[in-house]
Structure 1
Amino acid sequence: MDSKRNYFLVPMIVIGIMFFAIGFALGINSYLIPLLKNSLHVSSGESYLILAATFSAFLIFGYPASLVIGKIGYKNTMMLSFLMFATGFYLFIPSAKSESLPLFLLASFVSGMGNAFLQASVNPYITILGPMESAAKRISFMGIANKLAWPVAPLFLALIIGKSVEDVQLQDINIPFYMIIGVFLLLGVLSYFSPLPEVKAVGEDEESAAECAYAANKTSIWQFPHLLLGVLALFLYVGVETVSLGTLVDYAESIGLPNAELYAWIAPAGMVIGYICGIIFIPKYISQANALLICSILAIFGSFMVVFTPADISIWFILFMALGCSLMWPALWPLAMTDLGRFTKAGSSLLVIAIVGGAIIPTAYGFLKDAIGPQQAYWLCVPCFLYILFYALKGHKVR
């Protein structure tokens, strides 16, 4: 019994640390957006290109990452991703010295490449580590680690630099980034020596192929409509989640709230509440599909309230958007990956590619903000959440 418990517990702890690292790396962007806008005197749309650069790496490296995993395994790919992270973070230092937006975008892209390889490793790994029907519960644990890290990044930078974001100079980021580089290199060493077992989904190899009858006669990943509809749902979800997490500091500053970086915790708090609910209720009381349905409705409500309430109050309703987003990722992955059999790695690579939604939708928000104002730009989230509602009701059932 103890050995079986350790088989799951140790990988859960190690993968949880990696999910925290993913959230921390992405949370850095929420600090850089207002910093670059103020220091380089660029528009909101141009400053949000930092997110576009980070997430565009998923489009390019999502599929190659799955090939690398097939060659060297999950654990070695995780180690490789941390080396990529460290390289990207190092590039931020000469970018600050030269005060160059293109160099910042390059640094974010390299960091995003590390994120793409790590996400391609840890998400399918935690999904297939145990039974598929309880995958959302495991991913909810990971989500808590991930989303708590988002506000830690801007708060860490503010603490080490010792200034409010509107007073920071670009060269002030050098010391904290050297510290971050060191931590991520240590995480690479941890991943290499960690006792992570290699895992496979049902039907992924020839010995268990007969256990997945739906995939047995398929010849292409494009023959799984529930997966393809799920890819679009994940694309939209990552985009609107990144809007809720990544715009808080900028939105607070835009509407004149003091100490804007302190508002970075609102969305992560909502998501952690949702993840705790997922841990408690899935799958014992509600299914993964019903969790997605409830969360879609909450997110639609939050989006409307952000747009229609007074600006200084509206920022708090982003918590409801984030609460709605909380169980979307844990539910979408297992719903989309069910019955893929030997196409599991290819399917997970498509889902990783869909994370590019975090590049496109937040950037669209930035340019909408320039055109119609920061509050009205949140209208962008409504149709995205409506499609996710459709996937919860019908899309995941299509075979």
Structure 2
Amino acid sequence: LLVAHVIFAGKSGLDIELSSLYLPFLVLIVLVGILIAALTQVNLPAIASAEKKEGEVLEKSVWSFSHLALGVVAIFMYVGVEVAVGNNINLYAKSLDYKDPALLATIYWGLMLVGRLCGSFLSGISAQMQLTATSVLAGLCVLVGMLTNNPYILIGAGLFHSIMWGAIFALAIDKLGK
């Protein structure tokens, strides 16, 4: 929001013209080009333990682990829900005649960041327990938020939802080995 405010000098979304987007996108393209050029020049060391040794036969394909395949599907669905709620919370708030629906989206994404931070401190709790608890709590937030027409409760799901990511990832890669 701060960057958009600086780039567009505080104009509202309705006042921005297509021609005013050329310069910011051109700057973004140049910055990404510089980043790509810099990254191609970095010599990263080879990780010896991750490489297949000559004559070594790996037991299974990585996709033969059902928990990994399910983890990929779960993360795909997780991202879909994360983005769908984040993009539509303001429309839901508008339909309920809330004064500042954009604030709800900002709080939702902020709670997503707080949840990721909280998730990093929960490493002592098993991933299964984290996923179960956060799924139930996020589901309750969605249910209560919809039944009471209160989007503030609905955005609470963002907090619990973001904690799920680490648990899903940990469960997906568990016992993969080499």
Same fold (TM over 0.5): yes
Q: Deviations over 1:250-298 (max 9, x none)?
A: 444454445544443212221222222222231xx21222222222122
Relative to structure 1, the CA distance from residue 239 to residue 337 in structure 2 (aligned partners, 3 Å threshold; closer, same or farther) is same
Match of 2:78 in 1: 237
Contact (CA 8 Å) 1:298, 1:320: kept in 2 or not? no
Describe how 1:1-399 pairs up with structure 2 within 5 A.
Answer: 152=1, 155-161=2-8, 162-194=10-42, 196-199=44-47, 205-206=52-53, 217-218=59-60, 220-258=61-99, 260-282=101-123, 285-310=124-149, 313-314=150-151, 316-342=152-178
Q: How far apart in 2 are the matches of 1:257 and 1:172?
A: 30
Q: How far apart in 2 are the matches of 1:159 and 1:258?
A: 24
TM-score using structure 1 length: 0.38
Q: How far apart in 1 are the matches of 2:6 and 2:80?
A: 28
Relative to structure 1, the CA distance from residue 178 to residue 191 in structure 2 (aligned partners, 3 Å threshold; closer, same or farther) is same
Contact (CA 8 Å) 2:146, 2:154: kept in 1 or not? no
Relative to structure 1, the CA distance from residue 237 to residue 181 in structure 2 (aligned partners, 3 Å threshold; closer, same or farther) is same
Larger radius of gyration: 2
Identity %: 32
Q: Hey, which of these two has a bigger chunk of helix by percent?
A: 1
Q: Gapped runs of 5+ residues in structure 1?
A: 1-151, 211-215, 343-399
Letter in 1 for 2:81: V
Report the 3-state secondary structure (helix = DSSP H, G, I; strand = E; otherwise coil) of the residue aligned with 1:165: coil
Contact (CA 8 Å) 2:142, 2:154: kept in 1 or not? yes
Contact (CA 8 Å) 1:165, 1:261: kept in 2 or not? no
Q: Deviations over 1:230-268 (max 9, x none)?
A: 222222211111122222444444544455444432122
Q: Gapped runs of 5+ residues in structure 2?
A: none
Q: Deviations over 1:74-131 (max 9, x none)?
A: xxxxxxxxxxxxxxxxxxxxxxxxxxxxxxxxxxxxxxxxxxxxxxxxxxxxxxxxxx
Contact (CA 8 Å) 2:104, 2:155: kept in 1 or not? no
How many residue pairs are counted as aligned between the two chains?
A: 176
Letter in 1 for 2:22: N
Report the 3-state secondary structure (helix = DSSP H, G, I; strand = E; otherwise coil) of the residue aligned with 1:332: helix
Report the 3-state secondary structure (helix = DSSP H, G, I; strand = E; otherwise coil) of the residue aligned with 2:11: coil
TM-score using structure 2 length: 0.76
How far off its partner does 1:191 sit?
A: 2.9
Relative to structure 1, the CA distance from residue 190 to residue 329 in structure 2 (aligned partners, 3 Å threshold; closer, same or farther) is farther
Letter in 2 for 1:307: M
Q: How far apart in 2 are the matches of 1:205 and 1:308?
A: 54
How far off its partner does 1:330 sit?
A: 1.9
